[in-house]
C-alpha cells in the first residue's frame, strides 16, 4: 500500500501580509520555515521515495525542508532536484555519476503551480473584500468555476493538475512508491477533489492549512483505503 502525502507550503511572506500571491514567486516567511520543520517531524515515520513540487520557491523550500529536517524520512538518501532538460533556460550541467538509488528525486513542474490570480495578484485581501464585497471575493477564492479578473478558476487549475497527477504522480503510487507532493492551496484542492471524488458543491468548504500534511493510503488500482491529517 503506497502513501501519498500532500502538503501545502508553509506561510509565505505574502501570506503573512494577507496579499494574493498566485504565480508571484515569493519565499517562505520565518514562520513558514518553522511550519515546514514541524511538518517534517510529523512525516518522519513515513519513508519518501519521490517528491513532486511546483516551480514556485515557497513550495520548493517546503519540500526541501521536509526532506532534510528528519533523517528517518530520507533513510540516508539525498534529495536531488530534477530540472527539466527541455527547458531552454536550463544549462544542462547537472549530469553526474554514482549510485542514483541513494537519492530522492524532486521533480518540479508548473502544472502544480498555484492558481493564477490575475488582476488580484499583489492586492491585500482585506482591502479587496472592502472594494468588491465579501461574497464576490469568497466566490473568486473558493468556487470551482468562478474566475478572478484576468485569472484562473479552480476548474482551469484542475485541467492541468489532475492530468499531471494521473500521468506523472500516480504511476509512482502504482509501483508502490511513497510520494510527497509539496504545492499550493488551490492546486492541491483540485487534486483532492479528484482523489476524494468531491462534488462542485463541496469545494467551497475545502480549506487547507499551511504545512499540515494529509496522508493517503492508495492501492495499485488507485483506490483510497484511508486518509489522515497529521
> Per-residue confidence of the chain (230 residues) as pLDDT tens digits?
899 999 999 999 999 999 999 999 999 999 999 999 999 999 999 999 999 999 999 999 999 999 999 777 777 889 999 987 776 677 778 888 888 888 999 999 999 999 999 999 999 999 999 999 999 999 999 899 999 999 999 999 999 999 999 999 999 999 999 999 999 999 999 999 999 999 999 988 899 999 999 999 998 788 899 999 99
The pLDDT tens digits of the residues spanning 178-202 come to 999 999 999 999 999 999 999 999 9
Pairing of strands 179-183, 2-8: parallel
In the prediction, which pLDDT does 70 show?
79
Q: What's the predicted TM-score (pTM) here?
A: 0.94
pLDDT for res 87: 66
For residues 3 and 217, the answer to whether their CB atoms sit within 8 Å is yes
CA dihedral sign of residues 228, 15, 58, 67: negative
Task: For residue 81, give the C-alpha cell.
Answer: 532536484
Exposure string (b/e) for 163-202, b if CB count within 10 Å is 16 or more?
ebbeeebbebbeeebbbbbbbbbbbbbbbbbebeebeeee
In this structure, the strands spanning 224-229 and 179-183 are unpaired
CA Rg value for the chain:
18
Q: What is the mean pLDDT of the chain?
A: 94
**Residue 220 has what pLDDT?**
79
pLDDT score, position 68: 94
Domains and CATH numbers, the chain: 2-88+100-229 (3.40.50.1240)
Q: SS3 for 228?
A: strand
Q: Which residues of 77-97 are buried (b: 16+ CB within 10 A; e: fewer)?
A: bebeeeeeeeeeeeeeeeeee
Burial class (CB in 10 A: 0-12, 13-18, 19+), 46: middle
Over residues 117-159, the pLDDT tens digits come to: 999 999 999 999 999 999 999 999 989 999 999 999 999 999 9
pLDDT of residue 158: 97
The residues that are catalytic are 9, 114
Residue 214 and residue 192 in contact, taking contact as beta carbons nearer than 8 Å: yes
Task: Give 79's strand partners.
Answer: 104
Residue 229, classed as helix, strand or coil, is strand
Percent helix / strand / coil, the chain, rounded to 5:
40, 20, 40
223 three-class SS: coil
pLDDT for the residue 84: 79
Amino acid at each position: 500500500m503506497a502513501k501519498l502525502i500532500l502538503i501545502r507550503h508553509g506561510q509565505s511572506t505574502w501570506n503573512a501580509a494577507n496579499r494574493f500571491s498566485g504565480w508571484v514567486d515569493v519565499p517562505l516567511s520565518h514562520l513558514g520555515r518553522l511550519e515546514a520543520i514541524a511538518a517534517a517531524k510529523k512525516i518522519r515515520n513515513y519513508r519518501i521515495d519521490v517528491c513532486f513540487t511546483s516551480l514556485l520557491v515557497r513550495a520548493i523550500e517546503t519540500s526541501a525542508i521536509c526532506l532534510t529536517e528528519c533523517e528517518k524520512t530520507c533513510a540516508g538518501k539525498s534529495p536531488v532536484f530534477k530540472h527539466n532538460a527541455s527547458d531552454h533556460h536550463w544549462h544542462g550541467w547537472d549530469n553526474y555519476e554514482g549510485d542514483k538509488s541513494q537519492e530522492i528525486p524532486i521533480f518540479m513542474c508548473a502544472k502544480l503551480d498555484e492558481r493564477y490570480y490575475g488582476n488580484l495578484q499583489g492586492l491585500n485581501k482585506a482591502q479587496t473584500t472592502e472594494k468588491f464585497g465579501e461574497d464576490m471575493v469568497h466566490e473568486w477564492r473558493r468556487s470551482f468555476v468562478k474566475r478572478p479578473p484576468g485569472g484562473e478558476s479552480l476548474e482551469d487549475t484542475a485541467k492541468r493538475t489532475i492530468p499531471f497527477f494521473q500521468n506523472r504522480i500516480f504511476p509512482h503510487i502504482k509501483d508502490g512508491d511513497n510520494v510527497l507532493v509539496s504545492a499550493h492551496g488551490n492546486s492541491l484542492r483540485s487534486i483532492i477533489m479528484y482523489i476524494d471524488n468531491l462534488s462542485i458543491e463541496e469545494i467551497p468548504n475545502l480549506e487547507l492549512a499551511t504545512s499540515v500534511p494529509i496522508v493517503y493510503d492508495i492501492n495499485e488500482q488507485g483506490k483510497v483505503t484511508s486518509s489522515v491529517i497529521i
